[in-house]
A and B are shown apart, each in its own frame.
Chain A
Amino acid sequence: MSKKQKIIFWSVVPAIIVLLIVGIILTNGLYEREASIQETMQDAILHEGDRISLFGLPVNPGLISAYLVTGAILLFAAIVRIFVIPKFKRIPGKFQLVLEQAVGFFDGMARSNSPHRNNTLGAYIFAAGVYIFFGTLFELVGIPWQTANGTSVTLPAPLSDINGAIALGCLSYAFILVGGIRANKGRGLLGTLKEFSLPISMSFRLFGALLSGMLVTELVYYYLALSFVLPVVVGVLFTLLHALVQAYVLAMLTALIYGEVTEPHVKKQRVRTRKKKTKSPTEVKI
């Protein structure tokens, strides 16, 4: 960096920072909160005050997020299907490599965990993984939406809504159940029912992880003093990390248990052991 560039850098950057701080202080009055931190966090969990009207039906903001995420993912998939996949090359480029890695990762996970039946499983865990990952990252975008009360709410991650988490957990369990019945009939059914706590654990794990992330972010954003530097770590890195972890955990658990219940039953051969007849001492003739 030349001397001239250094001068420009050290004069422009502090000026921008000063301007931003002044702007934040001056505009602080626009963001006066009506609710206390307790009410904000309660709303984040229970969504009693921030319902959104979906064709006249009051729903949680998480559902709107879910439809937006699904729409975005499907739009992206359609564009890729129409414009990119027909031009796939034998030696992949960067974007093709990313797609192949993603599909190959979930396909490999399905094959390794469920060697006997994995065609639909791969697609299911791929969809679930993509949904959880991008759904979690969706909270970083922070799209504002008007509630039924007329107030504004920032759309959260779809799975921070307990209904979304329960839906995905129960659907995963149902998927495992159907797979088990198709593969092993009654034995598969019993094998899946044995894991009766799975839908609850899956649902609440997702809900807890996503909600805790959102609550921490809410807490941080609530106070002006915490709005510098910290959101980069909390908002981006934490969100990214638990998006990856939750996507991996649900996909892995589903694949693992699906593999268990669809495993063909092998009858164990009973080995008959001959009992040696030993003569009692009284029978032994001397």
Chain B
Amino acid sequence: MAYSFDFPAVFDYTPVLVDGVVLTAALTVVSTVAGVSIGIAGAAARTSGVKALDTAVGVYVEVIRNTPFLVQLFFIFFGLPTLGIRLPEWQAAVLAMVVNLGAYSTEIIRAGIQATPRGLIEAGESLAMTRAEIFRHIVIKPAMKKIWPALSSQIVIVMLGSSVCSQIAAEELTFAANFIQSRNFRPFEVYFVVTALYLGLAVLLRWLLARFGNLVFARRAARA
């Protein structure tokens, strides 16, 4: 084997890689914020005791969890235009990721909510708190704290899964890799570098999520 590695051939395209990393990061941030918000709302709906809400959200969750992400993405990008809904690549990518994370995080957060001891809810009820007040002040924070590690993993999975969005020409990191290797014909070097970038992004994301968790769920003294 007389292959001579040529990594500078990749770094000639550094601006393309940077753009890819930036879009991947942006997709992840937006879909995390929106997806987890949907997850909290979905979990609240599923535990509300309102049968119709529970069923409706249940259908959404199961449809998303039991179909491939790539097909969901194609449906949004190639399917919806038939109905006159035409989204640019990055918007379709964000929508697919939000819908996907929303479904998974609904189930993860629901598990946390359902682990709330019955006595805490009764304590809230006997203090004349409404269902919504109990959810907001008593249930959700300990629930999120409990499931934060699981939710963090799901967010990392969604970040890594965003590579699939290259298939609709959203110019994220994998798209950048495909683009570069089609120009310099150095697939080993290109995918080696991009793999390292994903690894770095994932490690960084996990660290950020852990820090965020510590910050939000830390114990704080009362302020008056």
Q: Do A and B come from one complex?
A: no
